[in-house]
């Protein structure tokens, strides 16, 4: 794996800073700027690994991706013995030990990227949720472990939040994903609304595609609202972090709605004022 793909070969702090510079436009890291330095470093080490894994799955030469993902998982296994080779994997060492994070959660993120290499279409929403269980939900569970707040009930709510954030990113990035050969809109939903894949490349979005995106945004919003009570179960910086995730997701979905559900020109940017308002709402009301 090239140094460029890995984001450099520095230590934990260097990796965290490099990844922080890349985090601004994505929904998961919205809350990181609110946290004390120690928590921020821990979460950025996690984010660095997740980002690197995604880069292998998206940016490495296609013929090499499965091999590189296998190598990455092998390196993750070496973390227990303190002999991991990649900086982003080594950066997890202290976090995993201090926070008792199961390595399987990181392995799930690798598996999600394997799935991206062999599955490019999802027929049902249930199929897409199965993908999100690997690609998104482990992140929230890792965050709960970092804050010492993991429980089965909280993990279930976190899964709702993280799946909703993943869906929001899919609905923002329809055109970009299509260029990469992937369609995350469920085939059965496209059929129901009379949409074809040709519609996904024909800006501005056709009325039937806007209707489909409105349906999917509503579905994601309901899932996000269903998981938002997790905020009220937490305190301190954990509450601030999860409130930030919820706020980022709500603002992203609101931006899609404000664009009249036309995302083919690129992800509609959330308004900073809306993000701030959603953050105050989530933090103060605990949902």
List pLDDT tens digits, range 165-180: 999 999 999 999 999 9
Strand-pair partners of 183: 121
Distances (CA, A) of 237 to 12, 26, 36: 21, 20, 8
CA distance 145 to 102: 9
Write the DSSP symbol of residue 181.
T
Q: Where are the beta strands (DSSP E) in 6-144?
A: none
Per-residue pLDDT of the chain (287 residues; tens, 9 = 90+): 232 222 333 333 333 333 333 334 444 444 566 678 888 889 889 989 999 999 999 999 999 999 999 999 999 999 988 899 999 999 999 999 999 999 999 999 999 999 999 999 999 999 999 999 999 999 999 999 999 999 999 999 999 999 999 999 999 999 999 999 999 999 999 999 999 999 999 999 999 999 999 999 999 999 999 999 999 999 998 998 899 899 999 999 999 999 999 999 999 999 889 988 998 889 888 88
Position 32 scores a pLDDT of 61
Q: Which of 179, 265, 183 is nearest to 216 (CA)?
A: 183
Cα atoms in the Cβ-side hemisphere of radius 13 Å centred on 72: 31
CA distance 98 to 222: 34
CA distance 161 to 38: 24
Position 237 scores a pLDDT of 87
Position 15 scores a pLDDT of 34
Position 84 scores a pLDDT of 93
183 φ, ψ (degrees, to nearest 5): -130, 115
CA distance 251 to 261: 14
Write the DSSP symbol of residue 43.
H
185 Cβ contact partners less than 8 Å away, ≥ 6 residues apart:
122, 170, 174, 195, 200, 212, 216
Position 240 scores a pLDDT of 87
What interhelical angle do 236-258 and 37-59 show, nearest 10?
Answer: 40
27 φ, ψ (degrees, to nearest 5): -80, -35
Position 34 scores a pLDDT of 62
Domains of the chain: 1-118 (1.10.600.10), 121-287 (1.10.600.10)
Position 33 scores a pLDDT of 65
């Amino acid at each position: 794996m090239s140094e460029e793909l890995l984001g450099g070969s520095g230590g934990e702090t260097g990796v965290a800073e490099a990844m922080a510079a890349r985090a601004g436009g994505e929904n998961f890291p919205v809350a990181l700027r609110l946290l004390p330095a120690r928590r921020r470093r821990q979460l950025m080490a996690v984010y660095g690994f997740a980002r690197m894994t995604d880069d292998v799955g998206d940016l490495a030469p296609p013929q090499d991706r499965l091999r590189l993902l296998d190598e990455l998982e092998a390196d993750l296994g070496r973390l227990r013995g303190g002999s991991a080779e990649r900086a982003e994997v080594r950066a997890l060492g202290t976090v995993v030990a201090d926070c008792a994070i199961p390595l399987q959660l990181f392995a799930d993120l690798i598996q999600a990227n394997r799935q991206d290499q062999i599955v490019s279409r999802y027929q049902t929403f249930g199929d897409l949720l199965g993908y999100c269980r690997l690609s998104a939900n482990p992140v929230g569970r890792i965050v709960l472990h970092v804050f010492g707040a993991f429980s089965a009930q909280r993990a279930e709510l976190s899964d709702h939040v993280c799946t909703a954030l993943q869906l929001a990113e899919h609905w923002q990035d329809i055109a970009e994903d299509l260029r990469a050969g992937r369609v995350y809109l469920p085939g059965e939903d496209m059929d129901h609304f009379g949409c074809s894949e040709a519609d996904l490349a024909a800006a501005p979005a056709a009325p039937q595609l806007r209707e489909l995106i409105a349906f999917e945004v509503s579905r994601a919003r309901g899932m996000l609202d269903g998981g938002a009570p997790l905020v009220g179960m937490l305190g301190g910086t954990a509450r601030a972090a999860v409130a930030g995730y919820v706020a980022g997701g709500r603002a992203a979905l609101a931006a899609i709605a404000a664009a009249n559900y036309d995302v083919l020109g690129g992800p509609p940017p959330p308004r900073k004022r809306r993000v701030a308002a959603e953050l105050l709402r989530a933090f103060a009301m605990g949902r």
